[in-house]
Structures are given as C-alpha cells and as structure tokens.
Amino acid sequence: MRSRAGRLLPGGVLVLLAALALCAPIYEAAWGIDPNGVDLSQRYGQPSFTHPLGTDELGRDLVARLLRGGRVSLSVGLVAALMATAIGTVIGLLAGYFGGKLDAFLMRLTDSVIALPLLPLLIVLAAVDLTKLGVPAAIAQSEDVSLYRIVIITGLASWTTVARLVRGETLALREREFVLAAIGQGAGSLRVMFVHIFPNALTPIIVAATLSVGNVILFESVLSFLGLGIQPPIASWGNMLTHAQETIWSAPALAIYPGVLILIVVANCNLLGDRLRDSLDPRSAGR
Amino acid sequence: MNGAPLLSVEGLVKHFPVQRSLFRLGRGTVVRAVDGVSFELRAGETLALVGETGCGKTTVARAAAMLHRPTAGRVRFRGQDMTRLRRRGLKAARRHIGLIFQDPLSSLNPRLSVARIIAEPLVIHGIGSSRDRRERALELAAAVGIAIGDLDRHPHAFSGGQCQRIAIARALACDPALVIADEPVSSLDASIQSQVLNLMIDMKERRGLSYLFITHDIGVADAIADRVAVMYAGRIVEFGGRDEVFHHPVHPYTRALLDAVPQLGGGRGTAVSEPGEPPSATSLPSGCPYHPRCPKAQALCKEAIPELTSPGAKGATLAACHFPD
Amino acid sequence: MTRFAVTRAIEGLIVLLLMSFVVYGLIGLMPGDPIDLMIASNPKLTTADGQRLRALYGLDRPILERYLNWLTAAVQGDFGYSRAFARPVLELVGPRLVNTLVLLITALAVALIVGLGAGLYAALHPRSWIDDLIGYLSFISISTPTFWLALLLIMLFAVVLGVLPASGMPVGADTGLAERLRHLILPVATLSLASAGGYTRYMRAAMIETLGQDFIRTARSKGASEMRIVLRHGLRNALIPVITVIALDFGALFSGALITETMFAYPGMGKAIYDAIMANDFNLALVTLLFATLTTLAGNFAADLGYAWLDPRISLAAGRAGT
Ligand SMILES: Nc1ncnc2c1ncn2[C@@H]1O[C@H](COP(=O)(O)OP(=O)(O)O)[C@@H](O)[C@H]1O
Ligand code: SF4
Ligand SMILES: [Mg+2]
C-alpha cells in the first residue's frame, strides 16, 4: 500500500464511483427503468434480471436509485467542499495576512464555530422557511431548492478546518522573502494574497478540501436521512435510508447498500487526503 | 541632486514585542532590534551597513523599505516622509525603490515563471502593455546574464547565483533610484559572490543607482561601498567614508572587527565576528551597549549612552564612543 | 489561571449570547407562525383575534425588540411554554439534560478509554499487524455515518439477536437502574464507536511524534525504564495536543449525541431539539439549542482547563492563538 499505485488507489475508487454515477442515464436507458417510477405492485422486490438489486419500498429499481443517489451525494459533496474551501481560504488569508485584531477576531470566530454543536444548528437552518426570507414561493417549493440549500448549509459548516490551515500557511508565507519583495515593490494586499500567498498554500488547501468532501457527504447524508436534506423524490444515499429503520425487518438490503456506499466514499476521501498530506509532509506520523 | 539626500533615516527605532497574546497586551518584553539609527544616503552613492548577525541590519533595511512600521523615527525618501504615506503615496514611492534579499531562492515566488517575476513590478505599477513588459523582461534578463530561453522556467530550475541575478533584474525593472540590498551575496559561493558583486557595481554605474547595501562581510563592504555605517546592538557606532572607517577606525568596536579580519580585500573569510557574545536584544546593557566587551570601557560607559558625533580632529567620521581613538 | 478561566468564561458567555440571538432569529424563520397555529387549533379565534394576539405577544414588533424582551424574561428564568407539551420549557429541559449528560459522559469515557488505549498501543508497536488493524478500524470509525452505525447495531442486537432494546428509554425517575442501563448500552456503543476512531488517530500521531523527540532520547540514554519513559514523559506530552483536539471535538460529540438519541428514541436534549423543530415548538427548540451550546462550551472549557493543568509552562493565550 505504500507504493505509488497504492497511494493513488483511493482516488481511483472515487473516480470509478463518480463515473458509475454519471452512467446512471445509460443504465436506465438500457434497462428501460425510470428511477423515480413508483410501482406499488413491485415493493421490496427480490433481485432479478429486470431489477439487479431488487426494488425499494415504493417499487423503484434499487440500482437506479443508488446511482442517482450517488450523483447527488457526490456532487453535493464536491460543490459544498469547494464552497467551504473558498470561504475558509478567504478567512484564513485575511486573518494570517492582516494579523492583529482582525486575526484575533476571525480566529475566535472560527474556534467558536468549531466548538458549536453544528448538527442541531444545521437542522434549524435546514428547517428555515425560505418564503419568510422573501424567496418567491415558486422557487422555495421547487424540487431543486433542497439541493442548493444543502450545499450552502453543509458548506457553511465545513470551512473552519480550511480557515485554520490557510491562516497557518499564510503566517509562514508572509515572512518569506518573495512575499516581502512583492510588498516592497508596491503590490496591493489582494495581489499579495492571491498571486503570492494563495498559490503557494495550494497543496495543503487541496488536502483540506479533500478531507472536507468526506465531511460534507456525512453531513448531507444525516440531514437527508432526517428528512431535512435532499427531498424525495430526488434520491440521495442519505434519504434512501430514511425508512430503513422501519423496513430493517423486511428488507435489510435497503439499509445496507446506501450506507456501504457512503462509507466507501467518505473513507476514500479521508484516505486520499491522508495520503496526499503524508506525501507532502514526510514528518507527519498520521496514517 | 547633490543637495538633498536620496534617503534619510532619522532616529529609527524598531521594537518587536516578544509575546503578543490576546490576554496579556502591554506586558511582556520587547526585542530592541533597532534603537535609534540615523543616516543619510546621497544620490549615486553606495552606503554599506555592516555588523555582526543580529545587530539589526535587516530590520533597518526593512524599515527603510517600509516593510516594517517603525516604532519611532522617520524614513524620508526624496524628502518625502514614508512613515506618513498612505497606500497610494507609498505605492508610488515604492516604484523607485528596488529590493534584493539574502536568500536568492526564497526571494522568488516558486509558482511564477522567471519572465513573470521580472515583469511583476511593471504589472504592479501599470507600466507598458503586456508585450512591452515581456520585451523589458527580455532586456533585463540579458543585462543580468540570464539566457532568454530560460525565461519561462520556474525559479527552482536555477542556481543560487542565477536566482540572485533574476532578483536583481526584478529590482531594476522600474528603473529605481535606490536599491536596498540585504546581504545579496552572503549565501553564495565565493566565486559567484564576486560575479554578482561585479554585476551590481556595473549596474550601478550604468544606471546611476544608489545602494543601501547590507552585509556582515567587511571584505564585501570594502569592495562596493563609498561610505560605511558600522552597527552594534541596534545602533550605529561608527559612520564615515569607507577608507577612513576601514583604515582609521575610531570606535573600539570597529577596531576589534577589523582586527578579526586577516587582510582586507581577500574576498574570503572576511565575515564579521569577534570574540565574545553580542548582547541579547531583549536585555541590553546600560550605557554604551558595547561596554561589557570593550577593552577601553570606563565608569562613564556604564552610565551614559554615547551619541554618534564627530570625534573632532579626525574629519568626517562619526563615532558613538566616550573615548574614541 | 483564574484570570484565564474568567476570560474564557466571559468569552463563552458572549458566544452564548450571540448564539441566542442568531438562533432566535432563525427560529422565527421556521415554517408556520405561532398565532396561525393557535388560530388553527381554536376555531373560535378569528383573524382579528389573531391581530390582537400578535400585538399582545409583541409579535408585530421588530426582531431586536422581541429578542430583548425574550432575553429579559429568559434571564429571569422564564423561557416560555412548550407548545407541543403544554408545559413550561424549563421543566422539560431538566430531565433531558440529565439524560444527555449521562449519555455524553459515558460515551466520552468509553471512547477515550478505547481510543487513547488503542492509539497508545499502536504508537508503541508501529507497523505491526495490530497497528495496521487499529488503523483500519479507526478509519472506518471516522468514515461511517453515525446514524447508519446505529441502524447496524439495532439490526444486529435488537433484531437479529434480540438481546438489547432498540428504543424506549423510560423518562421517569422510578425506573430501575438495570433497565436504564440496558437502554443505555446501544446508544453509548454507537456514540463511543463513532468518536473512538478520531481519538485513536490523534493519540497515535501525538505519541509517535513525542517519542521521537529529544527529551525522550535523553531519558532513554540515561537508562530510564521503557515504562517510565512512556508514562512519565511520553504520555503527558502527547496528551497535550490530544486534549486540544478533543476540546475542539465537543461540538461534534454533541452532534453525534443528537443522532444517537434520535435513532434510539432516547429522551435527551438532542432528540428534544429535533422533535421541537419538527413540531414547530419554537420555545422548546430555542431553549434546547441554547442548552446544547452551553453544554459544548462547558465541555470545551473543561478541556481547556485540563490543557492548562497538563502543561502549566505554556501560556494559555499564546497556545491557543498560535495553533
Ligand atoms: N519579526 C521579528 N520578531 C522578533 N524579533 C525579531 C524580528 N526580526 C528580527 N528580530 C530580532 O531583532 C534583532 C535584529 O535582527 P536583524 O535585524 O535580523 O539582524 P541582522 O540582520 O543584523 O542579523 C535580532 O535579535 C532578531 O532576533
Ligand atoms: S563608550 Fe566606552 S564602552 Fe563604549 S565603545 Fe567607547 S570606550 Fe568602549
Ligand atoms: Mg540579516
């Protein structure tokens, strides 16, 4: 596992899963399946040729649901992690570059957010009625809005690690001579931060971003599981488990597959992040 | 041009707080890195700032470039008080000041191509079109001896000496009046040192530059300086023409430094060092900071800090000593 | 030390106050409207009555004013009534807070024993097969969704084996201890398994780093016994970073508790928060959320004091600001 191929294995697993999820429409066309097609005569169907993994509590094809759910979970994870990384990067850059009171304030803020019980707060955020914020009812009640909402909410919950990390990098880079040279030449703060500091902090940022993809997917899955995330009929691995507690008796497979997929994706994100970090920092004793 | 100095530093003080914590503001000790430094740099001359490691040279250089806000004192560039300039004014002034640092590799952004590094000052000050800037970068590269074909490579592809040439090209991009160079050759091999030093002398002559040249190497200072300021424990202890300071020192510390150097102009092994430890910048001795090491120290030296003044007969040299030679 | 404790306590209060405002605002944005709900449940009330009620409760005032009114009442101990339970909110919070603390503290203790123990063992036997096994298990622990882990445990112990209850922890104080303990086993197992992996990883990394440092080598060269080196010098120093991380993880621990309580219908704060939000029980949601924040801040604070106790040399302020 310490070979180069071994190092990249987690990345390969993720790419493969993403490719499979992208292939959902091909599978559906080939099998002639509608992923959202409810067929109450086919509830809890056993695996068969028409439904390779059987059907769920509404008679929908499980493979199609898993692929569609993967699309949603992976893209939410990716987009929200990007958002979290962007927020964390900006906060970390500002805190590390300007220092002083701004730094003290931003880091207190970050520490406080880390200390908060995030999930309960995310639940409140997920429950917020968008029409009360002036969002037109037509948009607030549309199907896709749950997607955007979950991206924003989970992104808001995951920026703190990146912020601390970028701040640390910025503090170190700010003393480097090429940064001083840029300042001394008259470069403005934005230029120094984004041309000189940010690109040189990029590798650790990528590590943190990778780790936060896993984190976001965990948040998304639990919120969707609780009925506050991705709203049915859109499938996500989390909301496919919503009824698992009741159907554990009759259809344990329905509770197993989505959970295993979440575990695989999150574990591989964490592994990939760890491997990247180790290869950047040979001192690091972590696995 | 001869009248007003190009750069004048007046009563510069820079203290670093040792422990800056959220809850203990105001307490804690400070490092007195620079403790009242004044000098003038005339247009067209090279002033060398020499002294042992830790005496505050880098801090002076950075404060002169406004990379540090001075704790007290003024930095005037072309008569303008830089410590009072706001963003815009400071940016405008910086256009005319080039900077060169000690560590050649660390002073170049590893993510940028050499062409972009050299042209960056032009971009910052909005000079020329991007094609003009590219052309100018080619010109500068040629002038400092970097092959044009190498311009799109990144700094790690170059040796230390080449990196320092690139840094020089960047410092000259906006045709500065003043170049502040902090130990520009100290981390280079001896043979490369003289090449780079010669390049700098050459550039100065061709472009009418002035250098504030920091070094801990008396041999290097001797090779490039017109005038010399010797620093000890955050202060200037002797200031004067190169030949006077190096051949007729009046301050006991300068004398000790020169005695430690085998032969001047040897190029090799002329780094400043002297038996005994320099004082800790967090707890300077009372009176003349040199008195614990000074062979001529007397009771007065422990009590009163000597001012930098002319010791009388010796002409233009200034020294901070109660009992100069 | 006292000064530090006071400063941190004040900071904690500020965070709590800010949180109360944010949460107050957010709760107001949840679906439904308390007056509409009243009107709906009482056919005698008209829209005009609604307006009057609105004015009576001050709901037509600006948010800041409403918040300050709420805060004034709250400071005097009046947190309002729970709509769903028709009881004063504070009465409901008490026993649930106790249940949650029981769950949190037990699970934390188990997770720390398991996690720190496994991490220590792995650090002392690096690259052995047990180290590898511990590594994989801790990886699975941090990557498994807590709610799914709960599902698996329910499936195994309650459904297949049928040995443990999956839910129905009694609320009253009159239930026997043994029955309470039986109901605690699966929730505690879930929450501690979910947290132990992280602690294992931190402990292993910190211990390996510490054992590589100079003072350990010095102790070795002086012939100190291996046991003494590990316990006296290594552990104490390794625990310092670990405690910081655990402190930072308190919020996550509470989030885990919410999931666990919801999954096992365990009557604690987490389940109360979830139920209150789902039932539009504004007062209860607000108060339970604030108590949840208070709990994690207190945990954080305790860990900070532990940190200070372990390493009196390090200036607390500098240590935290600098990391
Ligand atoms: N950013 C800083 N923070 C704290 N102390 C500093 C800082 N920069 C320099 N110092 C201290 O100030 C003194 C002078 O340093 P410096 O100006 O770098 O000396 P030199 O360049 O002559 O070697 C040294 O004691 C150094 O440790
Ligand atoms: S003032 Fe006194 S101690 Fe200082 S250099 Fe002169 S003689 Fe020596
Ligand atoms: Mg220096």
Of chain C, the percentage scoring pLDDT greater than 70 comes to 87
* Residues in chain A, overall count: 287
Asked whether the CA dihedral C167, C172, C173, C179 is positive or negative, the reply is: negative
Confidence band (pLDDT; 50, 70, 90) for A252?
confident
Q: Which residues of chain B have pLDDT under 50?
A: 1, 20-26, 265-268
- Please compute the mean of the pLDDT values over residues C118-129 and round it to a whole number: 91
**Who has greater pLDDT, A142 or B119?**
B119
- Asked if A186's CB is within 8 angstroms of B109's CB, the reply is no
- Asked if C19's CB is within 8 angstroms of A115's CB, the reply is no
pLDDT of res. B19: 57
pLDDT of res. B59: 95
Distance CA(A287)–CA(A195), nearest Å, equals 32
Closest atom of ligand 1 to B68 CA is: 1
Those of residues 1-40 in B touching chain C at CB distance below 8 A are: 19, 21-24
Per-residue pLDDT tens over the stretch B78-98: 989 999 998 889 999 999 999
pLDDT of res. A242: 87
Is the CB of A174 inside 8 Å of chain B's CB atoms?
Answer: no
pLDDT of res. B23: 41
DSSP label at B13? Answer: E
Is the CB of A175 inside 8 Å of chain B's CB atoms?
Answer: no
- Please compute the mean of the pLDDT values over residues C33-61 and round it to a whole number: 70
- Asked if C140's CB is within 8 angstroms of A263's CB, the reply is yes
pLDDT tops 50 at residue C208: yes
Of B157-166, B196-205, C213-222, C276-285, minimum mean pLDDT range: C213-222
pLDDT tops 80 at residue C296: yes
- Asked if A129's CB is within 8 angstroms of C29's CB, the reply is yes
Q: Which letter, b or e, does each residue of A251-279 get, where b requires 16 or more Cβ atoms within 10 Å of its Cβ?
A: beebbbbbbebbbebbbbbbbbbbbbbbe
Whether pTM > 0.90 for this model: the answer is no
- Answer yes or no: are the C-beta atoms of C297 and C278 closer than 8 Å: no
Confidence band (pLDDT; 50, 70, 90) for C59?
low
Distance CA(C282)–CA(C59), nearest Å, equals 13
Per-residue pLDDT tens over the stretch A49-92: 676 667 777 667 777 788 888 999 999 999 999 999 999 999 99
Q: How far is C112 from chain B (nearest CA, A)?
A: 31
pLDDT of res. C168: 65
Distance CA(C99)–CA(B84), nearest Å, equals 62
Nearest CA to ligand 1 atom 13: B33
Supply the DSSP string of A18-40, one letter for each residue: HHHHHTHHHHHHHHT--TT---G
pLDDT tops 60 at residue A287: no
Give the CB-side neighbour count of residue A191, counting CA atoms within 13 A. 18
Confidence band (pLDDT; 50, 70, 90) for A103?
very high
Supply the DSSP string of A232-266, one letter for each residue: TTS--TTGGGTTHHHHTTT-HHHHHHHHHHHHHHH
Q: What angle do CA C20, C22, C24 make, to 5 degrees?
A: 65
- Please compute the mean of the pLDDT values over residues A246-259 and round it to a whole number: 82
Nearest CA to ligand 2 atom 6: B321
> Distance from the CA of B167 to the center of ligand 1, in angstroms?
23
pLDDT of res. A180: 96
**For residue B156, how many other CB atoms are within 10 A of its CB?**
9
Of A129-143, A188-202, B66-80, C105-119, minimum mean pLDDT range: A129-143
pLDDT of res. B272: 56
**Who has greater pLDDT, C59 or A149?**
A149
Distance CA(C168)–CA(A199), nearest Å, equals 54
Q: Which residue is closest to B25 within chain C, CA to CA?
A: C317
pLDDT of res. A171: 93
Mutant choice from B120, B140, B183 vs A, greatest count of A C-beta within 10 A: B120
B285 burial class (0-12, 13-18, 19+ CB within 10 angstroms)? middle
- Please compute the mean of the pLDDT values over residues A176-194 and round it to a whole number: 95
Q: Which amino acid is at B28?
A: G
Is the CB of A188 inside 8 Å of chain B's CB atoms?
Answer: yes
Distance CA(B199)–CA(C319), nearest Å, equals 47
Of chain C, the percentage scoring pLDDT greater than 90 comes to 26
* Ligand that comes closest to the CA of residue B253: 2
- Please compute the mean of the pLDDT values over residues C69-87 and round it to a whole number: 82
Q: Is B16 in the pocket of ligand 1 (CB under 6 A)?
A: yes
Distance CA(A137)–CA(B137), nearest Å, equals 58
Q: How far is A213 from chain C (nearest CA, A)?
A: 11
Per-residue pLDDT tens over the stretch C7-18: 878 888 888 888
pLDDT of res. B24: 43
Of A176-180, B181-185, C81-85, C169-173, minimum mean pLDDT range: C169-173
> Distance from the CA of B32 to the center of ligand 3, in angstroms?
15
Segment holding C161, helix H or strand E = none
Q: How far is C176 from chain A (nearest CA, A)?
A: 27
pLDDT of res. A132: 77
Q: Which residue is closest to B18 within chain C, CA to CA?
A: C318
Across the interface, of A104, A177, A186, the residue whose CB is closest to B107 is A177
Those of residues 265-284 in A touching chain B at CB distance below 8 A are: none
pLDDT of res. B266: 44
Of A216-230, B11-25, C221-235, minimum mean pLDDT range: B11-25
pLDDT of res. C317: 39
